[in-house]
């Protein structure tokens, strides 16, 4: 019984790790397609478009303090057309967290 339990635990851990990595990959793809134009590929908001729109660096002290819910709400209000889905936004938020490290 103990071997089965350990095997199940290892499987669940591997699944969780793979799921997180997949979400970050999907988040990176959506970020590049929908966000990088203003926030730059690295999230530092150094593009001319960022300067014109007032986009901030994800490493700014203000945005480093934002919760996932705040990022989610920001993305929801930013797009009037061609908006990412809620699932895509969650993946992008996970990716932004990686950029902030």
CATH, residue 48: 1.10.760
Which pLDDT value is given to residue 82? 87
Q: Is position 16 within any domain?
A: no
Do the beta carbons of residue 16 and residue 26 sit within 8 Å? no
In the predicted structure, residue 61 carries a pLDDT above the cut 80: yes
Mean pLDDT, the chain, whole residue set: 83
C-alpha 60/C-alpha 43 separation (Å) is: 10
Do the beta carbons of residue 40 and residue 62 sit within 8 Å? no
In the predicted structure, residue 8 carries a pLDDT above the cut 80: no
Q: pTM score > 0.75 for this model?
A: no
Cα dihedral angle (38, 44, 26, 84), rounded to 10 degrees? -30
Q: Is position 3 within any domain?
A: no
Confidence of residue 4 (pLDDT cuts 50, 70, 90): low
In the predicted structure, residue 69 carries a pLDDT above the cut 90: yes
């Amino acid at each position: 019984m103990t071997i089965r339990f350990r095997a199940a635990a290892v499987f669940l851990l591997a699944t969780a790790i793979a799921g997180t990595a997949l979400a970050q990959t999907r988040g990176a793809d959506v970020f590049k397609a929908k966000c990088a134009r203003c926030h730059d590929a690295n999230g530092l908001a150094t593009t001319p478009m960022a300067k014109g729109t007032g986009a901030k660096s994800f490493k700014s002290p203000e945005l480093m303090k934002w919760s996932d819910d705040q990022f989610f709400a920001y993305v929801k209000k930013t797009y009037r057309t061609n908006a990412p889905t809620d699932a895509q936004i969650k993946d992008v938020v996970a990716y932004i967290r990686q950029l902030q490290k």
